[in-house]
């Protein structure tokens, strides 16, 4: 190599070294600018009281929630009330969420992090779009939720499938050049409307009687009792199997829904020839439940109504002292207030038709003979 060639090589190396240093410094500067967001809130300035609506969209569903008179309604389910605790939990998390890491992301890398726009309908790699809106319908925050980050711990087990979700990749607004990692997986941000339904239907308390009529109008069975301390009796004089009787009554004491029927024609078709259940309570409430035909996934159609109400006054027991009366009157007033609030909710439920698991109402579909105690093997011989 000649001296001239050596000199040219040295100059080239110096230029390359300088260029590399400049590039590294540029990248460090960019990272410094990005890193200033670490530890900051993801949605600074957004307050809980400002949010009156939000929407979630992904490849599997679409959800629109709107707050009306302090009630969150699901538009995709005919404005049926949403689970307020779930709504509040997600909103509080979003408002308090902080950024723990940031990194640049190229367009080609977005699919790997599930950060493709779901509206573009990609085959894979779509994220979940989330928008928060104010009273005027203006979008005050927009996020694209990507892949969850899971952490393997000794408690979670050796399998990768058992790792615990601890974070999630998120892109804000129109930002496409970088992605933030937050310290919550936001697992409740599900775009399926049925996941947000307030699941509780009727809670018939202190049931006094239950009468069931078949689709053909014939009486199937009637259960009754004179007081809460007494056993159930079957109309006609026979004594029922007490566990079977309690199962039938219990179906009315904790009924939950699977979904709300939004198609009026489907609701009408499902309730053409229903089984009718009428229940009376010691508190003066009367429930009517209509159990319709079968639907997909082993579910049945349900419609309900409630009438009556708790008494306005308590009958004092003979011999009550002034102190006992004061205590019992307060207990009565508190119970009545709670019952009236529950009644208000259950009256609202008359507006919709529902789908519930058939197993939920199965005990109410029995014939009278099915409630009788099972005959023992030796009974026939004794006769």
If asked whether residues 285 and 233 sit together in one domain, one would say: yes
If asked whether residues 183 and 222 sit together in one domain, one would say: no
If asked whether residues 338 and 365 sit together in one domain, one would say: yes
If asked whether residues 297 and 247 sit together in one domain, one would say: yes
**Which 3-state string (H, E, C) describes 85-109?**
HHHHHHHHHHHHCEEEEEEECCHHH
Domain encompassing residue 333: 207-314+326-371
Residue 102 resides in a domain: yes
Q: pLDDT digit string (tens) for 26-78?
A: 344 444 444 677 899 999 999 999 999 999 999 989 999 999 888 999 999 99
How many domains are contained in the chain? 2
Bridge partner list, 269: none
- Locate the DSSP E strands across 229-343: 233-234, 259-261, 275-281, 285-295, 299-308
Angle (CA) 286 309 350, round 5°: 60
Please give the span between the terminal C-alpha atoms of the chain, in angstroms, as a whole number. Answer: 121
Average pLDDT over residues 101-130: 92
Q: pLDDT digit string (tens) for 233-256?
A: 999 988 999 999 999 999 999 899
Phi, psi (rounded to 5 degrees) for 274: -85, 155
If asked whether residues 104 and 189 sit together in one domain, one would say: yes
What is the rounded distance in angstroms from the CA atom of residue 327 to the CA atom of residue 325?
5
If asked whether residues 181 and 330 sit together in one domain, one would say: no
pLDDT reading at 205 higher than 70: yes
Residue 247 resides in a domain: yes
Residue 379 resides in a domain: no
Residue 149 is encoded by which pair of tokens?
A: 């980050």
Residue 20 resides in a domain: no
If asked whether residues 74 and 172 sit together in one domain, one would say: yes
If asked whether residues 145 and 241 sit together in one domain, one would say: no
Placement of tokens 């009156």 in the chain: 52
Rounded to the nearest integer, the mean pLDDT of the chain is: 87
Contact status, residue 172 vs residue 131, Cβ threshold 8 Å: no
Residue 271 is encoded by which pair of tokens?
A: 């309730």
If asked whether residues 260 and 181 sit together in one domain, one would say: no
């Amino acid at each position: 190599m000649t001296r001239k060639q050596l000199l040219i090589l040295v100059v080239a190396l110096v230029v390359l070294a300088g260029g590399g240093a400049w590039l590294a410094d540029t990248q460090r500067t960019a990272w410094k600018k990005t890193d200033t967001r670490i530890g900051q809130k993801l949605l600074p300035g957004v307050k809980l009281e400002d949010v009156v609506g939000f929407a979630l969209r992904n490849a599997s569903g679409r959800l629109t929630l709107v707050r009306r008179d302090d009630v969150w309604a699901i538009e995709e389910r005919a404005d049926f009330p949403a689970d307020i605790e779930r709504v509040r939990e997600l909103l509080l998390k979003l408002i308090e969420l902080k950024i723990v890491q940031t990194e640049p992301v190229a367009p080609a890398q977005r699919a790997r992090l599930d950060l493709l726009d779901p509206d573009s309908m990609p085959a894979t790699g779509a994220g979940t779009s989330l928008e928060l809106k104010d009273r005027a319908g203006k979008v005050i925050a927009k996020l694209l939720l990507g892949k969850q980050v899971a952490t393997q711990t000794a408690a979670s087990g050796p399998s990768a499938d058992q790792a615990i979700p601890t974070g999630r990749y998120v892109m804000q607004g129109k930002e496409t050049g970088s992605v933030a990692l937050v310290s919550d997986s936001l697992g409740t941000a599900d775009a399926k409307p049925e996941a947000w339904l307030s699941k509780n239907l009727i809670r018939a308390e202190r049931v006094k009687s239950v009468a069931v009529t078949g689709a053909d109008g014939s009486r199937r069975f009637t259960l009754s009792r004179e007081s809460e301390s007494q056993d159930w009796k079957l109309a006609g004089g026979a004594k029922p199997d007490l566990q079977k009787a309690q199962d039938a009554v219990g179906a009315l004491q904790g009924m939950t829904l699977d979904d709300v029927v939004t198609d009026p024609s489907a609701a009408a078709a499902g309730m053409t020839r229903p089984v009718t259940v009428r229940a009376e309570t010691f508190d003066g409430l009367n429930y009517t439940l209509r159990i319709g035909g079968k639907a997909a996934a082993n579910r049945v159609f349900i419609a309900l109504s409630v009438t009556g109400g708790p008494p306005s006054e308590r009958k004092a027991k003979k011999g009550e002292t002034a102190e006992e009366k004061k205590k019992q009157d307060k207990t009565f007033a508190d119970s009545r207030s709670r019952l009236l609030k529950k009644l208000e909710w259950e009256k609202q439920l008359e507006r919709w038709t529902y789908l519930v698991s058939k197993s939920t109402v199965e005990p109410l579909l029995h014939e009278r003979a099915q409630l009788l105690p099972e005959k023992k093997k030796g009974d026939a011989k004794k006769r």
